[in-house]
Structure 1
């Protein structure tokens, strides 16, 4: 596990809000989550609102949910605080946070070169050619 020089890791977090809420209440919930991240010392790198989508199965009596996707940089304590707030806010019906590991490119496999010695055959001044015979 590799950490950055500032001790922060990159995380992705997604939470689903009850779709029956009004626009104002939804913005309030999103602003509250943003405030939790910044007040705890995390950096919000991006927020993407995906809108209302159908859930795979009913969650807390809801067939649909308003999806919000966060991209953030934080220490693990910030994520614990964020998930604690996800649990306490009643309007959030589901959430998931994962740490993003930076992938290093795989080293290319070096193929060993084949060594084929060349065989030189001298036949004097004559040129030998192969002839193809046609079938009848």
Structure 2
């Protein structure tokens, strides 16, 4: 298994509480896809340098987790159909 970091960007018109609920939903989705040891690394609102899908700001939800590469493909497929996500990115973290 590899360690990954996921960055999910959602619209900035949500409240902090709504964004926290959404982050919990994403964590549950990841767990249902087969992820282990998931943690919410960061949740913060930022202004974009350039608009993303006509939004000027948004919340960055950063999750760190352990998963197999096949699991990552299932997660990406599930997130692709979610209209609440403006942009998503996955990084494989190096072992130290």
Say if 1:36 and 1:81, in contact at 8 Å, map to a contact too: no
* 1:50 maps to 2:13: no
Shift of 1:15: 0.7
In structure 1, list runs of 5 or more residues that go unmatched.
1-7, 104-136
More strand as a share of residues: 2
- Distance of 1:44 and 1:65 partners within structure 2: 26
Aligned residue number for residue 99 of structure 1: 92
After superposition, what is the alpha-carbon deviation per residue over 1:63-84, rounded to whole angstroms, capped at 9, x for unaligned?
A: 1110111110001122112212
Matches within 5 A, 1:48-127: 48-103=41-96
Taking CA–CA contacts closer than 8 Å with sequence separation of 6 or more, which of the two structures ends up with the larger relative contact order? 2
Say if 1:37 and 1:44, in contact at 8 Å, map to a contact too: no
Shift of 1:23: 4.3
Q: Secondary structure at the match of 1:41?
A: coil
Say if 1:51 and 1:68, in contact at 8 Å, map to a contact too: yes
Q: 1:34 aligns with which of 22, 27, 36?
A: 27
TM-score (norm 1): 0.63
Say if 2:8 and 2:60, in contact at 8 Å, map to a contact too: yes
When Rg is computed on C-alpha atoms for both structures, the one with the higher figure is 1
